[in-house]
């Protein structure tokens, strides 16, 4: 056997790059200690195109939906029409029922401008759900929430909490892209939010994280600035809700990552995860 230098395989390089991105987020957030690998399992490397992986089976029983969804799930999908349990964000009969109720939705004026209706993605029995505002250009093109640069940062935030992206659920207040990335308007929210409520009822998370001012204000029905909402527990439909900064804002204002990380650590504690310690000086590297 040769004693020469070992070649780094593409798989090892991909794992190293993923680990570097993960540690980069932690450093940006001011973290100096990370949980032992036994506490935070190592995620398998993702395919480079970040295509949606198969969704895992729910870890426990799925909460019964408390919404007035009437569609019968599965039948059309089994016949090769409509939607299926394997479609993005539809991984349980209750979620599929919500998706089938939406159909090719034209309930508001955002419908004509969409490429894809961005329903959601993730574990149908997730204990942790993230809710953003609405799809952007990348999300509209791919039919999945949070897949652009902000989405990559959200993935690192999720992984820093000790989860894989596939283990949580991610959705938006509105499912179709507002033109020019403007904020959704009240009539659009009114038309679409019942589906978010039904989605969350179907998932039954223990905690919801509202990402950014718009999602937090919409879910909490107030106009309080995100700087005052973040870091404080509230409630949405009987579920504990933690508002924090939107990943897109954190990309523009990386100095705020430390505060976002403090918010996420409160969520981790609430979910029985081990929090990591911030530096004593409270600064960011």
**Binding residues vs ligand SF4 (CB under 6 A):** 102, 105-108, 110-111, 117, 174-176, 188, 191-192
Six-digit token string for 145: 């929430």
Question: What distance in Å separates the CA atoms of residue 62 and residue 64, rounded to the nearest whole number?
Answer: 6
* Smallest distance, ligand SF4 to C-beta of residue 82, A: 15
* Smallest distance, ligand SF4 to C-beta of residue 172, A: 9
Six-digit token string for 25: 């987020």
Nearest to ligand SF4 of 23, 108 (CB atom): 108
Nearest to ligand SF4 of 192, 210 (CB atom): 192
Question: What distance in Å separates the CA atoms of residue 281 and residue 276, rounded to the nearest whole number?
Answer: 15
The whole-angstrom distance between residue 12's C-alpha and the CA centroid of its chain comes to: 27
* Smallest distance, ligand SF4 to C-beta of residue 98, A: 11
Six-digit token string for 55: 């969704």
Nearest to ligand SF4 of 108, 266 (CB atom): 108
Nearest to ligand SF4 of 131, 160 (CB atom): 131
129-151 burial code (b ≥16 CB/10 A, e <16)? bbbbbbbbebbbebbbbbbbebb
11 half-sphere exposure, CB direction, 13 A CA radius:
1
Query: Is-contact 267 209, C-beta < 8 A?
Result: yes
* Smallest distance, ligand SF4 to C-beta of residue 200, A: 15
* Smallest distance, ligand SF4 to C-beta of residue 118, A: 9
Nearest to ligand SF4 of 102, 208 (CB atom): 102
């Amino acid at each position: 056997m040769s004693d020469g230098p070992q070649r780094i395989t593409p798989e090892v390089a991909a794992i190293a790059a993923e680990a570097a991105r993960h540690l980069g987020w932690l450093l940006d957030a001011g973290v100096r200690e990370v949980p032992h690998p036994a506490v935070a399992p190592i995620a398998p490397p993702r395919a480079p195109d970040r295509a949606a992986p198969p969704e895992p089976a729910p870890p426990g029983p799925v909460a019964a939906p408390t919404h007035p969804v009437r569609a019968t799930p599965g039948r059309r999908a089994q016949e090769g029409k409509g939607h299926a349990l394997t479609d993005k964000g539809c991984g349980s009969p209750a979620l599929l029922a919500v998706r089938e109720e939406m159909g090719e939705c034209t309930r508001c004026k955002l419908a004509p401008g969409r490429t894809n209706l961005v329903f959601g993605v993730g574990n149908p029995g997730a204990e942790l759900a993230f809710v953003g505002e609405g799809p952007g250009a990348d999300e509209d093109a791919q039919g999945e929430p949070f897949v652009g640069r902000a989405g990559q940062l959200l993935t690192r935030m999720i992984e820093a909490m000790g989860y894989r992206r596939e283990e949580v659920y991610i959705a938006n207040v509105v499912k179709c892209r507002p033109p020019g990335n403007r904020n959704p308007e009240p009539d659009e929210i009114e038309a679409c939010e019942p589906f978010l409520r039904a989605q969350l009822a179907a998932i039954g998370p223990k905690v919801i994280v509202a990402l950014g001012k718009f999602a937090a204000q919409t879910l909490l029905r107030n106009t309080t600035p995100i700087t005052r909402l973040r870091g404080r527990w509230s409630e949405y439909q009987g579920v504990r809700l933690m508002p924090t900064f939107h990943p897109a804002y954190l990309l523009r204002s990386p100095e705020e990552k430390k505060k976002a990380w403090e918010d996420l650590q409160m969520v981790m504690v609430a979910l029985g995860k081990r929090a990591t310690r911030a530096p004593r000086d409270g600064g960011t590297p």
